[in-house]
Structure 1
Amino acid sequence: MPGRHQQTLGIALLLLAGLLLLASGLRYSQLLNRFDTLSYDLLLPVQAPSMSPEIVIIDIDDASIMELGRWPWPRDIHADLINVLSQYDSKAIGLDIIFSESQQTSVDQALADAIEKNGKTFLITAPVLLSKASGVSELLPMANLAAGAAGIGHVDVELDLDGLNRKFHAYGGMGEAYWPSLPIAMAQFAGDDMPQLDELKSNDLRQQMAVGWVRDKRGLIPFTRRQEQTLRLSYADVLRERIDLDVLNGKYLLVGVTAAGIGDRIATPLYREHERMPGVELLAQQLNGLLQGKILQEFSNVQQWLISIVIILLGAIAIMMAPLRYGFALTLIFIALCIALSAFLLASTRYWFAPATAIACLMICWPMWNLWRLHSQAQSQRALQEKLDELSSHNPLTELPNQGALERELADIIQNQSQKQLALVICHFNWSDSSHSIYDQSLGKSSLLQIAEQLREINRSNYFIAQLNSDDFAFLVPDNAESHNTLDLLDRLCASFSRPITKERESLILSAKMGVSCWPKDSHDAGEALRNAATALFKARMDDRSSYCFYSETIGQEVQARYELEQALVHAIDRLEFELHFQPRIDSQSNRVNGVEALLRWKNPKLGWIIPDSFIPVAEHSGMISSIGDWVLKKACLHLKQLRELGYDDIQMGLNISPQQFMSDNFVSRVQLIVLELGLPPSSLEFEVTESTLMRDMDTAVKVMTELTQFGIDFTIDDFGTGYSSLSHLKKLPYKRIKIDHSFTREIGQSQNAREIILSVIEMSKRLDLAIVAEGVEEQEHSEFLTANGCHELQGFLFSPALPFDELCEYLEQRA
């Protein structure tokens, strides 16, 4: 391994050195110039300044050509324009028109006089290639025109390799760069500050001393966004004064040709779709950048190289140090960072960094490094795969075969018919209610190891045993009618795990449940055997009467029906399938309706009416009982509010509260919120809770009942006498009523024991100053017995079944 690491380090250093040499060659060879210019054009909008309102273009446009005649015009027309412009206080006037040849003496002199009189007019000079033999020469304005001009500026244009103009030169001239550009000449004359002018770098000495046209102090034009337009006025409109020309005061005026087919047009990054920018508009873009101090510059070659090297080194080192799978993503990230750096520098420092060299080297680094690492990583992956294959069939903690191994073993047995009969036993250990819930993770793992070891000890016949997950284990038991192997195993499992597991002076109490599926009786393949065993296990976990369950078709149908019921229950609230019925509670002395008990009813479109005894246990087991209880609470309170609006102010609404709902953290606040929102008096509500609910957590029960009693809500102990409570516990609770369960009420005329129990409860309640309610009153005999012995309120079919709300209102109206 040390030798491999040293070899990898050597290759990495060699690759870094090669990348540095490649960067140097690419930077100075300009091979990637096209990519750099494309990047520049795409990023140019990040720095785009707004167009200065100080610049106005006077267009020699198509309309002006139509009105004033064929181009070129007599120079007295230009003289007339300058005379018009002289009436306004503009900063400077730039004529982007070459006046190098004479027309007529009179018209030439008229233009010269107008220029001299104006005193702010600038003329242009430009290099021109007359022929290859003669080379570049300089076009200058006529002497008599130049004599009266405020100055002369060059309009030289430099094109990049792709034919687009991105740069301008502050100075240019034949043999020496003595002419300022036209925008600079105009701004200097007007006295506007141009701090960036001194910052522009001079060209090297060889270029300054070259024979022919020489350029100096290069900058990049900061093009505005395309929608940022310079104020443009038609030449003819200005000449004829058909528009308000006060707008010209204090402005830079650029006069030039924009008409189609004449004048100069230059390709720029601003127009990519085969459009060209008129020369006068290009001058406006230069002048705009100078006036706002937004001229862009390029880093020198050395600076470009240094920045590229830093990016390449950082990117290459990150790619080499990262895992192989992240190499491509890191390459993309560094390429993106490289482009982002170019954009940031362009926007913040107004310097352009060309990213192509760095990007090219990064794109080369990743595949080169991958080629080196693929072989060694492939070897590592092969070794790892061998280890994973070894572990894939066993649980890493207990080293028992896992579910995959069980499925393969079961499939082999069924396919090869190596056993005549086979039982699949899935054993689930439930420790959620034991002290394991407070153990740390290490103790949990050690407990699993103890369980696995205990299962191995039970497995005397060397059955195939597997761990399916942290709580489930499985046995494959060869069985037949004579051997009873399966029953023997189940008995041993129950006996073994009835005793607690001890670890570090702590006891872990397990509850084992088992499901059994037999082949070929119950299933035909491995998948079906596993499903059937899991179904039997589910049934066993739902049934407290036995620790194990054998699969049968009836059990399968029962579990399937429960599954369908649970699925239907999930959407019952949203689909408005629940409704409340109300059973009146009658005063035994006055025969008045003192209150009603809200009872939940469910009608499913597919399953029909479903009794609460069927779906409430499912809701409790699946955890949906809390949301159903919240719905019942809110709906019952709404109906109570409606009853009070109808004038039944003395009706009390009774609600059955589920254990999960009663013990939830937000139960008290939820109840208070609903009652206050609906404006109900808390005393109009009564909550019925069972003894078993209260015994789950007596401290919480006392706290919840005390808070709600102080709020004003009454409590009734429901189904009294059927639970496991004691008077010592119940005396701690603030309740007002006890409800005698219907199982006692219905046996009043049939069982002396039932009568004695009822009399005992009534007597006890009188001594504790508690009200008594009897439910299940269905016969007159029941009513007479209970009334005669002091039962305060009666509820049952003798008076009324549970009624929908509309029928309840009719019932109350009839009894009013």
Structure 2
Amino acid sequence: MKRYYDLWLARIRNLLRAAQGRPVALLVLFGLSLINLSSEWPSNIPRPAFVAALDETLPDSFKTARQLLFDQYQRRFPRIPAAQPVTIVEIDDATLATVGQWPWPRNRLASLIDAIAALKPLAIGLDIYMPEPDQTSPDKVAGNLPATAAALAAGLRALPSHEAILARSLRAAPTILGAAALDHPTFAASTDMRSAPILVHGTDPLARVQRFDYVLASLPELQAAAHGQAMLSVALEQGVVRRIPLVMGLGEKLVPGLPMEMFRLATGSSAIDVFADASGVQAVGVADAQVPTQPGGDIWLHFASIRSTLNRYVSARDILQGTVDPERFRNKLVLVGLTGTGVTDMRTTALGELVPGIEVQAQVIETIFEGRFLRRPTWLKWAESAFIMTFGLLIIWYVPRTQSRFAGFLRAVPKGSTILGVFLHLLNLFCCFYIFIRFGLLVDAASIFIILSAVMGCFFAPALLHFGERSGTEARTPPG
């Protein structure tokens, strides 16, 4: 067994020493660069079959490191809100204790919408969907009464249904209903929903955006009464929200996310504009505002800490009791959502904070309002790859030269390679972080570090193997 081990160790050492390690270093450089590129293949170039197979074989090779690095960018430099265009009406524990458990009868929700509308907001978005009839509605209650209560049943059927009451409130206020995208059918799911027109300028991007076949939307009567419908879905990557789609595909049509639909209604626009080319969506716009996006129609969200946004929350109980300041709602974009214990949809952000789902929607609106976007355009990936290849080839050409100044430096300073390596990687990280702060660009310092470190390691590995082999021999040699 020991003989085979020594034989393989010698072969590996000889392979690394061949042509001063350059062939192996070239193989490592090109191989890791291809794996890195396959993990984030540009959408405007058809992906070869072998690249797709490589990505399936090594699905998280560089993606996880990249995401964790981008999270660290945000944790070191979170967004500080400069404005507060959004007010969140939270159906919190205090509201549930006062008004009653969730779900409420629809007429009670109508009362809340009427109270908010009286405060003159620009738009009201409901992070709530109601796909089934209200079982507390008078006609439903009448259907459950015994035959001996025929007179009472007739009186109840003469009353308007709770859906009719809520529809009247939705129609009278600038309201938007949310809907949940599904990739599988359920009892209450449908394949379509009412939505405002989306005008595509350029190439049809339907094949590039996130697509769903089913949606959990509110009842058609409620959809017809509201002034807009929008998707509430967010993209999760390993359980963390990092990117938010502004437009999505439902079947064979484009539908808006809640933030863009809120802006459309607030500006009085009849449609949402999508600007796209062969590589995918370039921007999504409403009126004169355009939001630069990733090719999939999504944006990287620069999160603010929940500690800096708590003052946007108002308890629904206070609104129903009429004890709120009207200025917190006048000309604001109002979101209504659940935050009560056991009924809220909690999400983990890139900052590592657990926040209500409605907070994520609010931060998207806030980001668009301030015009502070994070971007990772296609050209940036190519620029990173070009830098890695150029610097990697420079290392392969220069480092093995025994008469170079670098070789002389290493002979004079034994720990010089470690010091230089640490310095260069810190410089790389600092430059990428500065670009993030200054321009909002997400540069993948992690891939640069991993690949170039592996290339450098090809030249130091023979020496390490030789040292390990020599140490082992000395340990086996008896003294004297």
TM-score range, shorter chain: 0.5 to 0.7
Equivalent residues of 2:74, 2:351 under 8 A apart: no
What is the CA distance between 1:327 and its match in structure 2?
1.6
Report SS of the residue matched to 1:254. strand
Q: 1:124 — aligned with what?
A: 178
Matched letter for residue 295 of structure 1: F
Equivalent residues of 1:184, 1:290 under 8 A apart: no
Matched letter for residue 223 of structure 1: F
Q: 2:128 — aligned with what?
A: 97
What is the CA distance between 1:169 and its match in structure 2?
0.9
List per-residue Cα deviations over 1:582-618 (Å, max 9, x = no partner). Answer: xxxxxxxxxxxxxxxxxxxxxxxxxxxxxxxxxxxxx
Q: 2:264 — aligned with what?
A: 188
What is the CA distance between 1:318 and its match in structure 2?
7.3
Structure 1 pair 237–181 and aligned structure 2 pair: CA distance change class (3 A): same
Structure 1 pair 183–220 and aligned structure 2 pair: CA distance change class (3 A): same
The one of 338, 343, 349 aligned to 1:268: 349
Q: 2:365 — aligned with what?
A: 287
Deviates more, 1:241-250 or 1:277-286: 241-250
Q: 1:759 — aligned with what?
A: none
Structure 1 pair 370–271 and aligned structure 2 pair: CA distance change class (3 A): closer
Equivalent residues of 2:388, 2:452 under 8 A apart: no
The one of 218, 231, 242 aligned to 2:298: 218
What is the CA distance between 1:224 and its match in structure 2?
1.0
List per-residue Cα deviations over 1:364-386 (Å, max 9, x = no partner). Answer: 23332124568999xxxxxxxxx
Superposed CA RMSD in Å reads 3.4
What is the CA distance between 1:66 and its match in structure 2?
0.6
Matched letter for residue 116 of structure 2: L
List per-residue Cα deviations over 1:183-212 (Å, max 9, x = no partner). Answer: 11111222399xxx968888759xxxxxxx
Report SS of the residue matched to 1:178. strand
Equivalent residues of 1:177, 1:216 under 8 A apart: no
Matched, 1:179 2:255: yes
List per-residue Cα deviations over 1:378-414 (Å, max 9, x = no partner). Answer: xxxxxxxxxxxxxxxxxxxxxxxxxxxxxxxxxxxxx
The one of 421, 431, 434 aligned to 1:344: 434
What is the CA distance between 1:225 and its match in structure 2?
3.0
Report SS of the residue matched to 2:125. strand
Matched letter for residue 261 of structure 1: G
Within 5 A, what are the aligned runs for 1:207-356? Answer: 216-230=296-310, 231-271=312-352, 276-300=354-378, 301-313=381-393, 322=406, 323-324=409-410, 325=414, 326-356=416-446
The alignment's TM-score, normalised by the length of structure 2, stands at 0.66
Structure 1 pair 350–199 and aligned structure 2 pair: CA distance change class (3 A): farther
Q: 2:7 — aligned with what?
A: none
Matched letter for residue 368 of structure 1: C
Q: 1:32 — aligned with what?
A: 62
Equivalent residues of 1:319, 1:327 under 8 A apart: no
Equivalent residues of 1:164, 1:269 under 8 A apart: yes
List per-residue Cα deviations over 1:394-439 (Å, max 9, x = no partner). Answer: xxxxxxxxxxxxxxxxxxxxxxxxxxxxxxxxxxxxxxxxxxxxxx
What is the CA distance between 1:333 and its match in structure 2?
2.1
Whole-Å separation in 2 of the counterparts to 1:81 and 1:292 = 29
Q: 1:696 — aligned with what?
A: none
What is the CA distance between 1:304 and its match in structure 2?
4.2
Whole-Å separation in 2 of the counterparts to 1:246 and 1:27 = 50
Matched letter for residue 31 of structure 2: L
Q: 1:611 — aligned with what?
A: none
Structure 1 pair 286–189 and aligned structure 2 pair: CA distance change class (3 A): same
List per-residue Cα deviations over 1:139-170 (Å, max 9, x = no partner). Answer: 1222221122221111112111x211111111
Q: 1:65 — aligned with what?
A: 96
Matched letter for residue 279 of structure 1: G
Structure 1 pair 116–157 and aligned structure 2 pair: CA distance change class (3 A): same
Report SS of the residue matched to 1:351. coil
Structure 1 pair 361–250 and aligned structure 2 pair: CA distance change class (3 A): same
Structure 1 pair 32–93 and aligned structure 2 pair: CA distance change class (3 A): same
Percent identity of paired positions between Structure 1 and Structure 2: 22
Structure 1 pair 266–113 and aligned structure 2 pair: CA distance change class (3 A): same
List per-residue Cα deviations over 1:783-815 (Å, max 9, x = no partner). Answer: xxxxxxxxxxxxxxxxxxxxxxxxxxxxxxxxx
Q: Which has the larger radius of gyration?
A: 1
Matched, 1:358 2:448: yes
Matched letter for residue 264 of structure 1: D
Q: 1:114 — aligned with what?
A: 169
List per-residue Cα deviations over 1:218-245 (Å, max 9, x = no partner). Answer: 2111101343214110011111112222
Matched letter for residue 15 of structure 1: A
List per-residue Cα deviations over 1:527-585 (Å, max 9, x = no partner). Answer: xxxxxxxxxxxxxxxxxxxxxxxxxxxxxxxxxxxxxxxxxxxxxxxxxxxxxxxxxxx
Q: 1:44 — aligned with what?
A: 74
What is the CA distance between 1:254 and its match in structure 2?
0.7
Structure 1 pair 354–18 and aligned structure 2 pair: CA distance change class (3 A): same
Report SS of the residue matched to 1:219. strand
Structure 1 pair 202–190 and aligned structure 2 pair: CA distance change class (3 A): farther
Give the unaligned 5+ runs of structure 1: 1-6, 206-214, 378-816
Within 5 A, what are the aligned runs for 1:558-597? Answer: none
Equivalent residues of 1:126, 1:140 under 8 A apart: yes
Q: 1:461 — aligned with what?
A: none
Q: How many residues align?
A: 355
List per-residue Cα deviations over 1:432-473 (Å, max 9, x = no partner). Answer: xxxxxxxxxxxxxxxxxxxxxxxxxxxxxxxxxxxxxxxxxx
Matched, 1:158 2:235: yes
Equivalent residues of 2:28, 2:455 under 8 A apart: no
Structure 1 pair 79–158 and aligned structure 2 pair: CA distance change class (3 A): same
What is the CA distance between 1:129 and its match in structure 2?
4.8
Whole-Å separation in 2 of the counterparts to 1:327 and 1:26 = 26
Report SS of the residue matched to 2:362. helix
Whole-Å separation in 2 of the counterparts to 1:291 and 1:176 = 30
Equivalent residues of 1:46, 1:347 under 8 A apart: no
Whole-Å separation in 2 of the counterparts to 1:375 and 1:260 = 58
Structure 1 pair 376–99 and aligned structure 2 pair: CA distance change class (3 A): closer
Q: 1:789 — aligned with what?
A: none
Whole-Å separation in 1 of the counterparts to 2:77 and 2:394 = 27
Whole-Å separation in 1 of the counterparts to 2:275 and 2:305 = 25
Structure 1 pair 121–114 and aligned structure 2 pair: CA distance change class (3 A): same
- Which structure has more relative contact order (CA 8 Å, sep 6+)? It is 2
Within 5 A, what are the aligned runs for 1:490-501? Answer: none
Matched letter for residue 43 of structure 1: Y
Q: 1:748 — aligned with what?
A: none
Whole-Å separation in 1 of the counterparts to 2:390 and 2:186 = 45
Matched letter for residue 32 of structure 2: L
Report SS of the residue matched to 2:455. helix
Whole-Å separation in 2 of the counterparts to 1:70 and 1:9 = 75
What is the CA distance between 1:42 and its match in structure 2?
0.9
Whole-Å separation in 1 of the counterparts to 2:418 and 2:357 = 46
Equivalent residues of 1:76, 1:110 under 8 A apart: yes
Whole-Å separation in 2 of the counterparts to 1:332 and 1:248 = 52
What is the CA distance between 1:122 and its match in structure 2?
0.8
Whole-Å separation in 2 of the counterparts to 1:74 and 1:152 = 21
What is the CA distance between 1:349 and its match in structure 2?
2.5
Whole-Å separation in 1 of the counterparts to 2:422 and 2:370 = 36
The alignment's TM-score, normalised by the length of structure 1, stands at 0.40
Whole-Å separation in 2 of the counterparts to 1:312 and 1:239 = 65
Structure 1 pair 11–306 and aligned structure 2 pair: CA distance change class (3 A): same
Structure 1 pair 169–16 and aligned structure 2 pair: CA distance change class (3 A): same
Structure 1 pair 351–256 and aligned structure 2 pair: CA distance change class (3 A): same
Equivalent residues of 1:125, 1:139 under 8 A apart: yes
